[in-house]
Amino acid sequence: MVSEDISHQLYSLRGTVYRMWGQLRGQTLLPLPFGMDTLEKAERHALDTGEMTDSQLKSAIEGVVIKWVHQVEEVLTQDTDDLEGSDHFPKPLEEISFWVKRRENLTHISNQLKDKKVQMMSNILEVTESAYFPAFVKMCADVTMEQFTFDVIKMA
C-alpha cells in the first residue's frame, strides 16, 4: 500500500514537471494519468461490457480530464491584455506574436487530444457514462472551434 502511494505521488510529480516543461517551451502539455499500462485492456473490456473493472484507472482518467479542462480553459481565455498588465497596450508585432504562439499551442493541444491513448480514455468515459465525459467533449470542441476560427482568419 505504501509503495502504491509512493508510485502515485511520483507519477503526480512527473505530471507537474511535464506541464512546467511545456510552459517553458510555450506549449500546453497534457499529462496522461497513472495506470496507462492497462488502458488498452480496460478499454476493450469497457467496450465489450459497458463496465469498467479498474475503478482506479477510471478515477485517474477522470482526475486528469478535470486538470486538462482547467489547463485548456486557461489557454482559451488568454488575451493580449494579459501580456504586460492592464496599463500596457501591446504593439502590433507583440499582438501578432501572441496570436501565432496561441495558434501553435492550440494545434499542439489538438494533436495531443487526437492521440490513440486519449481516444481510448474518451471511449472509456463515454461507455461507462462518466459524469466527466461531457466536459471532455466540450473541451475538445472548444479547441477545435478555436482552431477553426484561426483557419478562417488565416484564409481571409
What is the DSSP code string of the chain?
Answer: -HHHHHHHHHHHHHHHHHHHHHHHTT----PPPTTGGGHHHHHHHHHHHS--S-HHHHHHHHHHHHHHHHHHHHHHH--GGGTT-TT----HHHHHHHHHHHHHHHHHHHHHHTSHHHHHHHHHHHHTT-TTHHHHHHHHHHHHHHHHHHHHHHH-
Q: What is the pLDDT of residue 117?
A: 96
Give the tens place of pLDDT for each residue, 11-41.
677 777 877 887 778 899 999 988 888 999 9
Q: What is the pLDDT of residue 34?
A: 83
- Residue 27: CB partners within 8 Å, gap ≥ 6? 104, 105, 108
- Structural contact between residues 114 and 144, judged by C-beta atoms closer than 8 angstroms: no
Q: Is residue 136 part of a domain?
A: yes
Q: Is residue 103 part of a domain?
A: yes
Q: What mean pLDDT do residues 111-129 have?
A: 96
**Least confident piece of the model among 88-97, 102-111, 145-154:** 145-154
Q: What is the pLDDT of residue 85?
A: 63
Q: Is residue 7 part of a domain?
A: no
Give the tens place of pLDDT for each residue, 60-96.
999 999 999 999 999 999 887 776 666 677 888 888 8
Q: Is residue 9 part of a domain?
A: no
pLDDT confidence tier of residue 142, bands split at 50, 70 and 90: very high
Q: Is residue 88 part of a domain?
A: yes
Range(s) of the domain holding residue 83: 35-155
**Over 80: is that where the pLDDT of 123 sits?**
yes
Q: Is residue 70 part of a domain?
A: yes
CA distance 150 to 2: 48
Q: What is the pLDDT of residue 155?
A: 60
Q: Is residue 23 part of a domain?
A: no
Residue 61 has which C-alpha cell? 482518467
Residue 74 has which C-alpha cell? 486557461
Q: Is residue 49 part of a domain?
A: yes
**Over 80: is that where the pLDDT of 138 sits?**
yes
Report CA 148 to chain centroid distance, whole Å: 18
The chain-wide mean pLDDT, for the chain, equals 86
Q: What is the pLDDT of residue 2?
A: 74
Count of structural domains, the chain:
1
